[in-house]
C-alpha cells in the first residue's frame, strides 16, 4: 500500500520532479498529478495543493493500479447507486 508524505515540498527532492496532469482533467482543477520520484517511486498529489501531501507508490503498486484501471475494475466508483 502507498505511503503518505505530508508537509511542505518546497525544500524537498520532490520539487525537482516533473508532474503530469491528465489531458482529460476538468477545467475546474479537480484532478491529480503523477510523477516519477527519486528512488523509483511514483507520486500522486492534488493539483490544487502542490505543496500538500503526496502519496508514494512502489512501481509494483502503481502497475497493479494501472492494470486494474485497464481491466475496468474501478468503473463503478463515483457513480450514484440507487
pLDDT score of 15: 61
For residue 79, tell me if it sits in a domain.
no
pLDDT score of 78: 78
For residue 16, tell me if it sits in a domain.
yes
CA-CA-CA-CA torsion sign (48, 49, 53, 54): positive
Q: How many CB atoms lie within 10 A of CB 42?
A: 19
CA-CA-CA-CA torsion sign (17, 39, 24, 82): negative
- Of the candidates 82, 1, 8, 7, the one whose C-alpha atom is nearest the C-alpha of residue 41 is 1
29-71 per-position pLDDT tens digit = 778 899 999 889 999 999 888 889 999 999 999 999 999 999 9
pLDDT score of 30: 75
Indicate yes or no: pTM above 0.85: no
Q: How many domains does the chain have?
A: 1
For residue 51, tell me if it sits in a domain.
yes
Distance CA 53, CA 75 (A): 26
Please give the residue range of the domain that contains residue 28. 3-71
For residue 9, tell me if it sits in a domain.
yes
For residue 77, tell me if it sits in a domain.
no
Amino acid at each position: 500500500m502507498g505511503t503518505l508524505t505530508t508537509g511542505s515540498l518546497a525544500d524537498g527532492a520532490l520539487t525537482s520532479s516533473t508532474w503530469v496532469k491528465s489531458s482529460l482533467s476538468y477545467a475546474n482543477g479537480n484532478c491529480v498529478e503523477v510523477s516519477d520520484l527519486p528512488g523509483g517511486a511514483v507520486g500522486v498529489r492534488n493539483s490544487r495543493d502542490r505543496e500538500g501531501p503526496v502519496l508514494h507508490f512502489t512501481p509494483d503498486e502503481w502497475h497493479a493500479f494501472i492494470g486494474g484501471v485497464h481491466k475496468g475494475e474501478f468503473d463503478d466508483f463515483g457513480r450514484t447507486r440507487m
